[in-house]
Amino acid sequence: MSGEESDFNQSDQNDWLEIDPQTEIISVISPDIVEPDVIPPKTEKDDKNKNKNLNLSPGSAAKRKKILRALKDGVDVSELQSFAINRGGLLTNELRKQVWPKQLGVKLSEITPKPDEDMLHGHRDYDQVVMDVNRSLKRFPPGMDDDERFALQDILVDVIMRVLVNNSELHYYQGFHDICVTFLLVVDEDVAFAIVEKLSQKHLRDFMDADMDRTKHMLNYLYPIIDKASPQLCEYMERAETGTIFCLSWLITWYGHVLNDIKHIVRLYDFFIACHQLMPIYLAAAIVLYRQDEILETECEMCFIHSLLSRIPDNLPFEQLISKAGDLYLQFPPEDLASEAEFRSQENDNRAKRQRANGVAKLHQWSWRNNIRWVSTHMPNYGRRHYLLTTAVAAVVTAALCYSTTDWGWIEWNWF
């Protein structure tokens, strides 16, 4: 593997040097910055009530104002990305509706119209999609009445099928529906479609090949991160032959499949949209590291560790873990892990081969050559450099947050 061929994110030093991280951090995280009210409230009282209705703390209310201002000022995507990453993310669904499309460069006026029903229903993956959507009850708010839910499930099928019909190179995977439903619970049908379509051309692209080789390869980044952060834990998990399937659904559904609380899910979506496509793996590493004691107390056997980890407790400190993930990303960027991840891919392939002594079928071997495509097709259309800058800023901000405070108490949630 040669240097030029490597990596998911070829962030080079120069991209970093062109920004002044210090300034960025201050402007993003300091709640003290005095700013004019750009969206003037009808009356001061109205504005206060609004914040009260949204259940926002003073810190969050200030952040909300900044986000609204950024939206009004025109699109500075990197600023929006920073808001999405740092504490509390985009705070409310009202803001997500506006920010998510901007983060992804979705133009509401240019959404491809829905193809006719025959097209949607005639697709090779249609049956599987319907089977999965029929089994997605858990993803809808508990209080929702059946008729409303049935209607939304029908729309969900359409959203998924539109993406697949419009992009014939994409293959449906079980779990894609978990991503789509999350968006559909926040934004309207057309916007959900446009957002998911964009994501499936970028962050989710590697999950949507005809096979899962690239997905597997992404999973291979997990152990190198854990190893660097805690060799003891890594050794223990590897000795148990834990594997990576316990976090497969974390990665390919962006945790939508495993978390029970939708407010945690949308918060993570804010974060992932703004970050590198491997960020869900960094978060997985953060979660595993956070649960280190529990793991080490569990018998060193794949099944026990797998079942411990595959269920994520609802009470994890998600903000702290998000920061930790950003921190790990900064400390151990993907390009530093690439060769080790590659090594693991080979190891796994070899093991699989040994296992199948007669070798009827051969696994498609991951190669970095295949991966070059990532750089060109997976970058958002506002340019690769900009994207890297954004990611860099975001990561610095995250790391700074991680170091600057341990008080996470002010974050407040708002949902429905």
Partner 1 sequence: MSSHQSIDQSREVKPSSGAVKIVEKQAQRRIFKIIVIGDSNVGKTCLTYRFCSGKFPDKTEATIGVDFREKTVDLDGEQIKLQLWDTAGQERFRKSMVQHYYRNVHAVVFVFDVTKMSSFENMPQWIEECDRHNLDKNLPRIFVGNKCDMKDKIAVNTNLAQKFADSHNMPLFETSAKDDEKANHVDAIFMTMAHKLKNAKPMMSPHMSRYTPGETREVINVRASPHHRGLQSINPNEEKTDNCAC
Q: Are 245 and 217 in contact (CB under 8 A)?
A: no
Per DSSP, 254 falls in state T
Residue 72 backbone class (left: φ over 0; alpha: ψ -120 to 50; beta: rest): alpha
Say if residues 312 and 319 touch (Cβ distance below 8 Å). no
DSSP one-letter code for 94: H
CA dihedral 298, 281, 283, 262 (to 10 degrees): -100
Kindly state the tokens that stand for 223.
């152990």
Q: Cβ of residue 131: shortest distance to partner 1, in angstroms?
A: 4
Does 17 contact partner 1 by CB under 8 A?
Answer: no
Q: Shortest gap between Cβ of 369 and partner 1 (angstroms)?
A: 19
Mask: binding to partner 1, 145-174, rule CB under 8 A, as x and -?
--------------------------x-xx
Cβ atoms of 149 and 137 closer than 8 Å: yes
Among 175, 224, 326, 333, binds partner 1 (CB under 8 A): 175
Nearer to partner 1, 27 or 134 (CB): 134
Q: Is residue 302 a contact residue for partner 1 (CB under 8 A)?
A: yes
Task: Check residue 128 for interaction with partner 1 (CB under 8 A).
Answer: yes
177 is a contact residue toward partner 1 (CB under 8 A): yes
Separation between Cα atoms, residue 234 and residue 240, nearest integer Å: 10
Binding pattern for the stretch 280-299 against partner 1, x by CB under 8 A and - elsewhere: -------------x--xx-x
Q: If binding is defined by CB under 8 A, does position 361 make contact with partner 1?
A: yes
- Cβ–Cβ < 8 Å for 195, 104: yes
Task: Please select the residue that binds partner 1; options are 102, 123, 306, 344, rule is CB under 8 A.
Answer: 306
Least separation in angstroms between CB 249 and partner 1:
4
Q: What is the phi/psi pair of residue 364, to 5°?
A: -65, 120
Binding site for partner 1 (CB under 8 A): 128, 131-132, 135-138, 171, 173-175, 177, 210-213, 215-216, 241, 243, 245-246, 248-249, 252-253, 257, 293, 296-297, 299, 301-303, 306-307, 310, 352, 355-358, 360-361, 363
